[in-house]
Amino acid sequence: MPLSIVILAAGQGKRMNSDLPKVLQPLAGRPLLAHVLQTAKSLDAAAIHVVYGHGGDRVRAALADESVNWVLQAEQLGTGHAVAQAMPAIPDGHDVLILYGDVPLVRAETLQRVAAHSSDSSIGLLTAVLRDPTGYGRIVRDGAGNVVRIVEHKDANTKERAINEVNTGLMAMPAAALRHWLAALRNDNAQGEYYLTDVILMAVREGRKIHAVVATSEDEVLGVNDKVQLAQLESAYRAQKATELMLNGVTIVDPARIDIRGEVTAGRDVFIDINVVLIGKVQLGDRVRIGPNCVLKDCRIDADTELHPNCVIDRATIGPRNSIGPFARVRPDSVLHEDVHIGNFVEVKKSEIGAGSKANHLTYLGDTVVGRKVNVGAGTVTCNYDGVNKFRTEIEDGAFIGSGTMLVAPVKIGTGATIGAGSTITKDAPPEKLTLARARQTTVEGWRRPAKKTEE
Ligand code: UD1
Ligand code: CA
């Protein structure tokens, strides 16, 4: 049967104590709901319905590019009521898989196992065994071990509260049956809500079997209710990503001291030192080495390149065999070709740097095209901005820029040109020649340094 997925995301998340709706709280830099949606999309469903309510416009705006069916639940009357809002858009012939917008780390394989149990004779239900089940709905089983109902914590008696197996909230069943069970829900319970969990008892009464899929890890099913749990999930996510990288052969000096907030791919024998933060889409080639305290965001680093400590790389492409840093900053839209050296306190912005070129110390290259085998001396600055407009600098192959040079853009330095140290270059410099732009040095003969009078 075709699958319809319903993601419940209307809750307020009071305990977050935040103006941001709960499902938009960031985990690894992306809204919780975006994680759930990504997993949902990997399941090949006929449709994905997102039930929203609190912070509605912001939730929709944050995920405006997603092709989902938005379903408004104007008043939060319970999880059963929430699912009911989506039902008019779901045909009888579908299976319905229910997910929570605040349970972000559930794996696609687990959901597939749950969905596989949706049939005319059974329901799939994801459960978990927790050390501390406080607050969760408990799974009540009969003497033969069959699931017979779910009792909410607030409605449970002492004996039921001692049960460690809990309802994760995630379940799957045929749409037609779900529709008639939802219509029969009542809210005469401790919270005065229409509980989705009550459909389990109804299904059992109709002779259906509840297939409990017990989650293999706690992290996978943990929901987020406050910032403490958010931090716990962040660390679970981090650990999971670090483990994946290590199993793929990456050496991570200390997996507790790496932060991965996105999708990292790595070639063979990559080495990552401590306190490295990887954000967004990061691609690391074979044998890339990343020193301590580097921050890499949406970038590609090619084979055999080394980032020395304390580099910040943002939306840039760095070719093979580069040596970057320590203390280098490569900003968006920069492309470094092979064998480039960018040294300490060098900033590169929106620039292309050709093969074998070097800028080793204290330099700013902005809106610049640097050719091959160029040497940019210490303290060179491309003066690319007049306060309103940005201008480009071109430095052609083999040029040598002496230390302390100001290149006032727009300006072009020809092939093989040499610029004398301390020059302020405002006009194009011809190829293969020495160009200087600085006052001549003079020595004043007969000058005497003032001397203090010595007291008698
Ligand atoms: C629910 C389950 C409980 C389970 C727990 C797992 C019910 C009655 N209880 O309890 O058995 O152990 O989840 O975390 O289902 N939501 C809406 N509209 C509403 C109410 C909730 O969209 O009217 C959404 C929330 O945004 C959230 C999810 O449903 O994503 C769960 O709601 P929440 O209030 O957190 O349920 P719990 O009381 O924790
Ligand atoms: Ca909850």
- Provide mean pLDDT across the span 199-207: 97
Residue nearest to atom 34 of ligand 1 (CA): 11
Q: How confident is the model at residue 454 (pLDDT cuts 50, 70, 90)?
A: confident
Ligand 1 nearest-atom number relative to CA 52: 22
Q: Beta strand 352-353 with 334-336: parallel, antiparallel or unpaired?
A: parallel
Q: What is the pLDDT of residues 375-434, one digit of tens each?
A: 999 999 999 999 999 999 999 999 999 999 999 999 999 999 999 999 999 999 999 999
Q: What is the pLDDT of residue 11?
A: 85
* C-beta 77 within 6 A of ligand 1: yes
* C-beta 137 within 6 A of ligand 1: yes
* C-beta 152 within 6 A of ligand 1: yes
Paired with 102 in beta bridges are none
Q: What is the pLDDT of residue 164?
A: 97
CA nearest neighbour of 36 among 73, 66, 14, 13: 66
Q: Beta strand 276-284 with 69-72: parallel, antiparallel or unpaired?
A: unpaired
Phi, psi (5° rounding) for residue 259?
Answer: -120, 120
Q: How confident is the model at residue 456 (pLDDT cuts 50, 70, 90)?
A: low
Q: What is the pLDDT of residues 318-358, one digit of tens each?
A: 999 999 999 999 999 999 999 999 999 999 999 999 999 99
Whose atoms come closest to the Cα of 8: which ligand? 1
- Please give the Cα distance from 187 to 210 (Å, whole number): 23
Which of 27, 79, 160 gets mutated to test ligand 1 (max ligand atoms within 8 A of its CB)?
Answer: 79
Q: What is the pLDDT of residues 284-306, one digit of tens each?
A: 999 999 999 999 999 999 999 99
pLDDT-above-90 percentage for the chain:
96
Q: What is the pLDDT of residues 352-373, one digit of tens each?
A: 999 999 999 999 999 999 999 9
Whose atoms come closest to the Cα of 76: which ligand? 1
Q: Is the pLDDT of residue 455 over 80?
A: no
Phi, psi (5° rounding) for residue 384?
Answer: -100, 0
Q: Are 288 and 267 in contact (CB under 8 A)?
A: yes
Catalytic machinery residues:
361
Q: What is the pLDDT of residues 49-88, one digit of tens each?
A: 999 998 888 999 999 999 999 999 999 999 999 999 999 9
Q: Beta strand 393-395 with 368-370: parallel, antiparallel or unpaired?
A: parallel
Q: What is the pLDDT of residue 243?
A: 96
Q: How confident is the model at residue 97 (pLDDT cuts 50, 70, 90)?
A: very high
pLDDT-above-70 percentage for the chain:
100
* C-beta 197 within 6 A of ligand 1: yes
Residue type, 149: R
> Domains in the chain, start-ordered, CATH in brackets?
3-221 (3.90.550.10), 227-435 (2.160.10.10)
CA nearest neighbour of 370 among 345, 403, 335: 335
Q: DSSP characters for 257-294?
A: GEEEEEEEEE-TT-EE-TTEEEEEEEEE-TT-EE-TT-
Q: Are 315 and 295 in contact (CB under 8 A)?
A: no
- Contacts of 253 by beta carbon, 8 Å cutoff, 6+ apart: 271, 272, 273, 274
Q: Are 63 and 34 in contact (CB under 8 A)?
A: yes
